[in-house]
């Protein structure tokens, strides 16, 4: 189940350990590699690495589903069992790269991809349930409660702690 997955927030030298799935390596701007027992499988991930080599992601160690993103627009789902790659969402990124961020969170049996202009809700198989836009470049994930996912502002000082929420069922803004 995706919501018990593992955050991938940096690729270490020599790749990122993904347990029985091997080590994930960046080969070049279009290819990732998965090294298992000394053998390297090359996977074409299209344009996901075009914007940046800084990859953040989420791994479900049971199913081998990986969600990946950089500072660019694509959010990618990679199935390590089949090496299938698909762009599952196009993120509306901030023009100024210094303000871009992306984090994955699990709560309420779902995975959430929070970025500077939106929130993507994914099911246990890594498929998009909904994609909501927001206008808070400082949004922080606060959790799931009462049928909604809650975020809070971190900046500017007069808005710190300002909370807003999106309904879990469809991503409609319900508060804030």
Return the pLDDT at 11.
Answer: 53
Q: Cα 90–166–136 angle (5° rounding)?
A: 65
CATH number of this structure's domain 2-175, picked from the four choices 2.40.10.480, 2.40.370.10, 3.10.180.10, 3.10.270.10: 2.40.10.480
Single pTM value for the model: 0.89
Return the pLDDT at 54.
Answer: 75
Return the pLDDT at 1.
Answer: 39
Return the pLDDT at 5.
Answer: 64
Domain residue extents for the chain: 2-175
Candidates 99, 96, 2, 95; CA nearest to 57 is 2
Q: Is 3 helix (H, G, I), strand (E, B) or coil?
A: helix
| Cβ within 8 Å of residue 57, ≥6 positions away | 7, 8, 9, 66, 67, 68, 69, 104
| Cβ within 8 Å of residue 157, ≥6 positions away | none
Q: How far apart are CA 164 and CA 99, in angstroms?
A: 20
Please answer whether residues 121 and 134 qualify as being in contact, where contact means their C-beta atoms are separated by less than 8 angstroms. no
Work out the number of other CB atoms within 10 angstroms of the CB of residue 55.
Answer: 23
Q: Can you give the pLDDT of all 176 residues of the chain as single tens digits?
A: 344 466 665 555 667 788 889 988 888 878 888 999 989 999 988 767 776 767 888 999 899 999 988 888 999 999 999 999 999 999 999 999 889 999 999 998 899 999 999 999 999 899 999 999 998 999 999 999 999 999 999 998 888 889 999 999 999 999 87
Return the pLDDT at 45.
Answer: 85
Return the pLDDT at 53.
Answer: 64
């Amino acid at each position: 189940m995706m919501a018990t997955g593992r955050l991938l927030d940096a690729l270490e030298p020599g790749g990122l350990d993904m347990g029985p799935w091997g080590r994930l390596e960046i080969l070049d701007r279009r290819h990732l590699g998965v090294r298992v027992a000394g053998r390297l499988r090359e996977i074409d991930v299209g344009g996901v690495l075009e914007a940046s080599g800084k990859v953040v992601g989420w791994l479900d160690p049971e199913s081998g589903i990986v969600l990946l993103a950089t500072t660019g627009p694509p959010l990618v789902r990679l199935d390590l069992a089949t090496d299938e790659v698909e762009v599952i969402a196009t993120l509306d990124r901030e023009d100024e790269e210094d303000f871009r961020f992306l984090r994955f969170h699990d709560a309420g049996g779902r995975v959430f991809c929070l970025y500077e202009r939106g929130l993507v809700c994914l099911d246990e198989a890594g498929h998009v349930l909904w994609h909501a836009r927001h206008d808070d470049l400082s949004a922080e994930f606060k959790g799931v409660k009462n049928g909604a996912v809650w975020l809070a502002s971190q900046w500017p000082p007069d808005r710190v702690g300002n909370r807003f929420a999106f309904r879990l069922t469809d991503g409609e803004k319900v508060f804030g």
